[in-house]
Structure 1
Amino acid sequence: MQELDLKFPTCPVRNVLARFSDKWSLLVLVCILQNGKMRYTEIRRSIPDISQKMLSSTLKHLEEDNLLVREAYAEIPPRVEYSLTETGESLMLAMRMLLDWSLQHFQEVTQ
């Protein structure tokens, strides 16, 4: 393993993990991973305890970080779909072990 520079602001781990390790980002990414392309309302229904404002903000940040792509269709009414980018897909491939671990150890950790 390559030695890491853990000093801020040059630490790759700190700077990359901060992009998706907040309360909602990983949940949004998992939701889209499980369902493929999704509209805003579908994501909101899948994560009912997220506010509209927080979902909008999270989607915007994930798009800025090249983890999601937002595709707008010129229709009436307008339609917007979100999907994972290649970078987002590779992240979720790497996160698969953590997700599986979370499912397996949920009871032990949350007691």
Structure 2
Amino acid sequence: MVAKAAAPHDLNRSPGRYDEIDPRVEALVNDLIAQVADKWTMILIEVLHDHGEQRFTQISRRVPDVSQKMLTQTLRQMERNGLVQRTVHPVVPPRVEYRLTSLGESLGEAFCGVWTWAEDHLDAVEKARGAFDQHKASAG
């Protein structure tokens, strides 16, 4: 049995070799970070988590700043990654609904830590930003 190398971001383990990380895992992490870094994915996860299964038009109303094209692209990418399930009901006109999968729920839970961190460190970050901006302005 081969020991799994610690990920480069894992601060609780002894350091592993970066070149021993499964490249498929690295690619998935990079893809998911790119997707969740786009604000629409996290917003859609939150909407579907809070309101359950939703039709496209319901999601669109709950996220009025997103264009139809961007909403379609984001939902498609989320479906491809297994984060949402798209259900087409055989009625006329067709009714399409989206709901989070267990993968989508767990990704949302994983990123809840960012919200908690932001709440806990808001004052410190704002203070650091203010000091930086003031220093940059005076060094001008």
With the length of structure 2 as denominator, give the TM-score of the two structures. 0.65
Percent identity over paired residues? 35
SS at match of 2:39: coil
By relative contact order (CA 8 Å, sep 6+), the higher-ranking structure is 1
| Counterpart residue number, 1:50 | 66
| Counterpart residue number, 1:95 | 111
Cα pair 2:88 2:94 within 8 Å, conserved: yes
| Counterpart residue number, 1:66 | 82
Q: Which amino acid aligns with 1:3?
A: A
Deviation at 1:75, TM superposition (A): 0.8
Q: What is the CA RMSD across the aligned residues, in angstroms?
A: 2.9
| Counterpart residue number, 2:6 | 2
| Structure 1 position 80 matched with structure 2 position 96 | yes
Structure 1, 17-26 or 48-57: larger mean CA deviation: 17-26
What count of residue pairs does the alignment treat as equivalent? 109
Q: C-alpha distance in 2, partners of 1:93/1:15? A: 18
Q: Which amino acid aligns with 1:36?
A: G
Q: C-alpha distance in 2, partners of 1:25/1:87? A: 13
1:29 to 45, 48, 54: 45
Cα pair 1:32 1:38 within 8 Å, conserved: yes
Please tell me whether Structure 1 or Structure 2 has the larger radius of gyration of its CA atoms. 2
Cα pair 1:73 1:79 within 8 Å, conserved: yes
Structure 1, 50-59 or 19-28: larger mean CA deviation: 19-28
Unaligned runs of 5+ in 1: none
Q: C-alpha distance in 2, partners of 1:102/1:56? A: 29
Deviation at 1:91, TM superposition (A): 0.8
Unaligned runs of 5+ in 2: 9-17, 131-140
- Structure ranking higher in helix proportion: 2
The 4+ residue runs of structure 1 with deviation greater than 4 A are 100-104
Deviations 1:15-59 (A, max 9, x none): 331232213111111111110101100100011010001101111
Deviation at 1:97, TM superposition (A): 2.4
